[in-house]
Structure 1
């Protein structure tokens, strides 16, 4: 992202305020580590002064405006200031924590900035790697703001380092401010973090005040869950917001309509890029959703839902009958729904497997948005089985010339009861005392809805 005609001071304050927005939401501690380029190229002239003078002066002014901000700790690291490339070989270990984290570090940072003399190389990757050790822990919002006029000079990979630190949840996605980089390919910075190209030194006080005012206010989001007519009428759905870079869950809300009948406004931290999941059945997801700091962002997810109404035609003899719901032709489970209930699903085709004896499978059920799809199954009957002694056996369903296994008998009981769907069955039994297969006994029976059958061997 290139910002033309905006002062470097503006950028400092905007980015710092972006890092502070969460404070107004949850009062979480925020730590900001400034990583300042003090390589030899920072001695170069850039408009009214050297790049180093401009960077340090505007950084000091920006820090002054943060005095008195609660729940904020600052630190300063610099690189390229300890070894001169004019008198020695390139020193890729030339990176140093000048001011460690703590409250009220403003004067220490001011003094350290006065002492820095740019003279060395640009070890960005190694500075980011060492910066991970600068943060006391990962329990706060740990933010890095890198200020540089050049790219990595030590043949290392700052992108890989940045991503590793984010995945370990040591830091959030860094901010990089490029100064005087008109003739530099800034593409490599885009994978490190949020890159801002400051193309001039000009200041716009009124714009600065507007940016500060917006950034310090809660950044808000509205999630529109769209029905089949693409209207935002779907609601009461759980929403999960996670960090796209690390997968860490940051917020969870139940989608709500406000008193005006519109989707409710949610306060979010703009420093993150979000993956958002609407926990419909099945879930709907949007990835890598950026949030604009200080603005209201509307995010849309299509969620056309219809109802699946599961019913038993008569008296339900099952104690806890459930139905497995899958997408048509898919193995992944979408939901386990109780019978005699109604549940909402995203419109589409589904396969149903009712946990009756035997299983009742209903493929290719179409659920249509804004409509109810009723599914009814026959009422079961009951088999009461009385055995002369404990033994082995099973129940089979007769389907023409084939037999399908339904369930095994309980080998520890002589009186057993089975709730079965209407149909023709056989029961096989052999006493545990019988040591020959020829003593297997077999009975055929029929189950009808809301009736019972007794078999005594």
Structure 2
């Protein structure tokens, strides 16, 4: 085979490999990319209780007639949206108030494409009668959404009163959101003043006039279709957006559930990329640095591109032990003056932390503690000398401890000794030590033996306790 032909084969193979890598990356992006579903289901949970007969806003008009008129107009206007399915559940409209029927809730029109006329006809048939079983209705609404994936499930609750059947609306709503049945509900109160407490169940909106109801209902629906994007700028110590390659989590503020998880990315120009998020939800933003940084109740403008700036200046800690090439040595890392362990770092590993003071405790014998001041874009090195090896002979099995002896003669407990073997080995940092030991079958404490010794870095030593 000629050299020219060999070169052609090599080039061809490299080209094929390149194409495979590009194709694999493209497939991976398509498979793993997190998106807001294109299709949406909206369930109107509508109040048909007796209180809806009260006058409201306009002369000779009551709440039910005004709400019917506005809702039917909006349902009719949604007929051209092919990515939307609607359903209608009504409560409090079949049993009279005297019956106090707290299960008076019905899925009158289930989800189905092009069912707008059925919904409008059913809305126009409503004759308010009964009580207000909102919580039970919301529980039943969980069964109204078909189980197939690829949809955003939205509830728009329209009510003129609060729960009248003793249910815990907020707890029920949170539980159903955690299970992923639907996103944060919209709750539109018709003439309800001082009912902000319903915010714990969803996004509460007070519509004190018919005009406000029309505007807020339309706004709630439009917001579900508004493309909303976010860029996260992770700021360094100079307030420049240079930090990156950190996991960022968008958490549901109400449920605490993770909605989106991204590994932060900056392009060659240094710009962070944009991610699309669902504007229906309120978010807490968690930047998973060490330790993590949380920004509560992030304000996201619906239908716009949002830039969120979060300071996360970082530096490094590196742990090295003389003569050790592997990463088997571990160290516990805590924030200074705090007890929570934030990381277990290995030797010969450089790890990034937020700037600040930390306490690093090496899991050596004996343990060593270091206070480290992590500074922006700098690496703080912790160096340990190579250990030595001590072979102990205690004649027989028994009980004892090892102490490290300081220059002033004070001692610090290091570890208990193996009570199952008369000969054992310990790997220790260089220093001065004392072993205290009593043989298992000895006749009293007076037979306790001890021995002082020194150990140099890299030294191997034999200690006979009773010689």
Which residue of structure 2 lines up, in the alignment, with residue 355 of structure 1?
363
1:38 aligned to which of 45, 48, 55: 48
Comparing both chains, which one has the higher relative contact order based on Cα–Cα distances under 8 Å and sequence gaps of 6 or more? 1
SS at match of 1:64: coil
Native 8 Å contact 2:224 2:279 kept in 1: no
Q: 1:99-248 to 2 correspondence within 5 Å?
A: 99-102=109-112, 105-120=115-130, 122-135=132-145, 141-148=152-159, 150-152=160-162, 154=164, 156=166, 158-159=169-170, 161-167=172-178, 169-178=180-189, 181=191, 184-185=193-194, 187-197=196-206, 216=225, 218-248=227-257
Native 8 Å contact 1:272 1:290 kept in 2: no
Please report how far the alpha carbon of residue 408 of structure 1 lies from its aligned counterpart in structure 2 after TM superposition: 3.0
Native 8 Å contact 2:44 2:88 kept in 1: yes
1:401-449 CA distances to partner (integer Å, 9 max, x unpaired)? 4332222333444543322122111224455565555554433211122
Q: 1:390 to 1:100 in 2, by over 3 A?
A: same
Please report how far the alpha carbon of residue 254 of structure 1 lies from its aligned counterpart in structure 2 after TM superposition: 1.0
Which residue of structure 1 lines up, in the alignment, with residue 268 of structure 2?
259
CA distance in 2, matches of 1:221, 1:100: 34
Please report how far the alpha carbon of residue 152 of structure 1 lies from its aligned counterpart in structure 2 after TM superposition: 2.4
2:93 aligned to which of 78, 81, 84: 81
Native 8 Å contact 2:161 2:189 kept in 1: no
Q: 1:45 to 1:275 in 2, by over 3 A?
A: closer
Give 5+ residue unaligned stretches, structure 1. 1-22
1:255-304 CA distances to partner (integer Å, 9 max, x unpaired)? 11123311221121112111221111111111222433321122222211
CA distance in 1, matches of 2:86, 2:317: 55
Native 8 Å contact 2:154 2:185 kept in 1: yes
Which residue of structure 1 lines up, in the alignment, with residue 66 of structure 2?
51
- Is 1:64 matched with 2:79? yes
- Is 1:341 matched with 2:349? yes
- Is 1:385 matched with 2:400? no
SS at match of 2:78: helix
Moved more, 36-45 or 418-427: 36-45
Q: CA RMSD in A?
A: 3.8
- Is 1:306 matched with 2:315? yes
Please report how far the alpha carbon of residue 47 of structure 1 lies from its aligned counterpart in structure 2 after TM superposition: 6.1
1:168-227 CA distances to partner (integer Å, 9 max, x unpaired)? 654322113355x4x8555354444223456565999xxx99x96x86464211112111
SS at match of 2:154: strand
Q: Give TM-score scaled by structure 2 length.
A: 0.76
Which residue of structure 2 lines up, in the alignment, with residue 283 of structure 1?
292
Give 5+ residue unaligned stretches, structure 2. 1-32
Please report how far the alpha carbon of residue 136 of structure 1 lies from its aligned counterpart in structure 2 after TM superposition: 5.6
Q: 1:26 to 1:270 in 2, by over 3 A?
A: closer
Which residue of structure 1 lines up, in the alignment, with residue 432 of structure 2?
424
CA distance in 2, matches of 1:203, 1:438: 90
- Is 1:329 matched with 2:337? yes
Q: 1:239 to 1:453 in 2, by over 3 A?
A: same
Which residue of structure 1 lines up, in the alignment, with residue 14 of structure 2?
none
CA distance in 2, matches of 1:408, 1:73: 69
Q: Give TM-score scaled by structure 1 length.
A: 0.78
Q: 1:123 to 1:413 in 2, by over 3 A?
A: closer
Which residue of structure 2 lines up, in the alignment, with residue 376 of structure 1?
383
Native 8 Å contact 1:318 1:419 kept in 2: no
Q: 1:352 to 1:24 in 2, by over 3 A?
A: closer
Q: 1:65 to 1:177 in 2, by over 3 A?
A: farther
Native 8 Å contact 1:151 1:188 kept in 2: no
Moved more, 239-248 or 291-300: 291-300
Aligned length: 421
